[in-house]
Structure 1
Amino acid sequence: MARIKPQALLIQSKKKKGPTRISVTTIILGNLLVVLIVLCLFGTYRHWSRRSLDHGETGLSNFEDTDSFVATKKDDSDGFGDLKKYDLPGYAMIKTSKGYITVELFKDRSPEIVDRFLDLCQKGYFKGMAFSHVIKHYVIHGGNSEGLGAAGEWISKGKLHSDLITSPKHEAFMLGTSKAKHNSKGFELFITTAPIPDLNDKLTVFGHVVKGEDVVQEIEEVDTDEHYRPKQNVRIIDVTLKREI
């Protein structure tokens, strides 16, 4: 048998296939693909989680996101009465056609009225409410006026008692509602623009303005007819409830 020359053996060895090597580029591309898949899965998870949370809190759209609280009401009649006082919003940002008025609510002094006010805010009751009467150096009033009588009577009493000593309850920029109305379906809003001691027996004060006094004064300056009704439409656009400001 003829011997194979060393040179021929070398040629044959070169023709044999060696183990396949994976390039560095292929490894990098594979890792990038895995990372991309993980990021896509994570993004999908976050999207559906946030969507589920948004659907669960649809009824709290009147609360500022950063300061909102989650509360489950038993039914509409319960309002917020089953919550602790510190859980309730302490402020209301009233957006008017003239600007924002921020009010601190008296949760301790007038809990029932504040509870009713918060419940109505949640239901959008005050959206579009017009300031139906504007009496300079007295009050601006949203809602019907049947609870307090004729506007002229308010002014005459205000002038008569203007020299009386007033308490914080009678100061300017106080938020109140008619005592004759707050237990019914209606709810009026009054913001005083001067100390008014004579309204103590007709108004329940449940808050005071802490920001936006200039907006109150701008509304106070609008032109009115002989019945103190504004000649231009001045209204509440929306109310946002906040725990802190």
Structure 2
Amino acid sequence: MARIKPQALLQQSKKKKGPNRISVTTIILCNLIVVLIVFFVFTTYRHWSQRSRLQTESRSSVSKDEDAFVDSKKSDVPGYAVLNTAKGDITVELYKESSPEVVDEFIDLCQKGHFKGMPFNRVIKHFVIQAGDNKKVGAAEDWTLRGKHYNHLDTSSMKHEAFMLGTSKGKRNDRGFELFITTAPIPDLSEKLIVFGRVIKGEEVVQEIEEVDTDENYQPKANIGIIKVSLKQKI
């Protein structure tokens, strides 16, 4: 077997291919791709994160707007009424929370001018003054009997307060919406009336109306009534 010369071995080794080296361009390109992928993932996450936050804020804002609308609607309901009479003004605070339906009906009738010119057709001293369009004696017969009864009682010990505003219970279609203002405590007030307010100013006017001359049926001899009713948000 022939021996290979050292010079030939050197030439053969030069001809053998060495291991492949990764170029700088390839490294830069790979790094750029990685950066783009990371940037895309970060941008996508940020987009959906902001969208979720905006949706949450939007729902919260809508909920607050709805609550504000409800509160605004409640606050729009007048809280007071001023009954202008020939004897002076009677200011009444309306019980919007405890008697909302009756208060709504009362306000609606006020806006339609229902009480304009309405007379006080029953005045029972130490008991009640009543305003309404029903002039039949029988309509107030029970109230008249009660008035005679309570005139002889010590009303200072009775539990219901004076100067409460109410209207008759039951259907009011036949009699219309009558107004009752008590002038003394009445123990069974809730049996007859729906109380929906109280006089906070003008008690002396109520007492002055209470002192007018009446006939045997407690009807005032001189015409006296409500000139108009004004609704107020605040007093």
Query: In which range does the TM-score fall when normalised by the shorter chain?
Result: 0.5 to 0.7
Inter-CA distance 123–220: structure 2 relative to 1 (3 Å threshold): same
Deviation at 1:154, TM superposition (A): 1.8
Residue matched to 1:131: 120
Q: 1:92 aligns with which of 78, 81, 93?
A: 81
Deviation at 1:84, TM superposition (A): 3.1
CA-to-aligned-CA distance 1:17-51 (integer Å, 9 cap, x gap): xxxxxxxxxxxxxxxxxxxxxxxxxxxxxxxxxxx
Inter-CA distance 181–148: structure 2 relative to 1 (3 Å threshold): farther
Inter-CA distance 207–215: structure 2 relative to 1 (3 Å threshold): same
Residue matched to 2:181: 191
CA-to-aligned-CA distance 1:157-212 (integer Å, 9 cap, x gap): 53587569644xx2100000000344667100000000011232110000000010
Residue matched to 2:167: 177
Measure, in 2, the Cα distance between the counterparts of 1:88 and 1:230. 34
Residue matched to 2:214: 224
Deviation at 1:241, TM superposition (A): 0.2
Q: Does 1:155 align with 2:147?
A: yes
Measure, in 1, the Cα distance between the counterparts of 2:213 and 2:85. 17
Deviation at 1:85, TM superposition (A): 2.5
Q: Does 1:211 align with 2:201?
A: yes
Q: Secondary structure at the match of 1:205?
A: strand
Measure, in 2, the Cα distance between the counterparts of 1:184 and 1:173. 26
1:23-172 equivalent positions in 2, closer than 5 A:
84-143=73-132, 144=134, 148-158=140-150, 166-167=158-159, 170-172=160-162
Q: Report the TM-score when normalising by structure 2.
A: 0.63
Inter-CA distance 222–163: structure 2 relative to 1 (3 Å threshold): closer
Measure, in 1, the Cα distance between the counterparts of 2:139 and 2:122. 13
Residue matched to 2:35: none
Q: Secondary structure at the match of 1:150?
A: helix
Deviation at 1:227, TM superposition (A): 0.5
8 Å CA contact 2:166–2:179 kept in 1: the answer is yes
Q: CA RMSD in A?
A: 2.3
Q: 5+ residue gaps in structure 1? A: 1-82
Inter-CA distance 125–161: structure 2 relative to 1 (3 Å threshold): same
Measure, in 2, the Cα distance between the counterparts of 1:114 and 1:173. 17
Q: Does 1:242 align with 2:217?
A: no
* Larger deviation, residues 140-149 vs 219-228: 140-149
Structure 2: which amino acid aligns with 1:229?
Answer: Q
Q: Report the TM-score when normalising by structure 1.
A: 0.60
Inter-CA distance 156–180: structure 2 relative to 1 (3 Å threshold): farther
Q: Secondary structure at the match of 2:188?
A: helix
Inter-CA distance 99–187: structure 2 relative to 1 (3 Å threshold): same
Q: 5+ residue gaps in structure 2? A: 1-71
Q: Secondary structure at the match of 2:209?
A: helix
Inter-CA distance 181–159: structure 2 relative to 1 (3 Å threshold): farther
8 Å CA contact 2:126–2:151 kept in 1: the answer is no
The structure with the largest alpha-carbon Rg is 2
8 Å CA contact 1:113–1:182 kept in 2: the answer is no
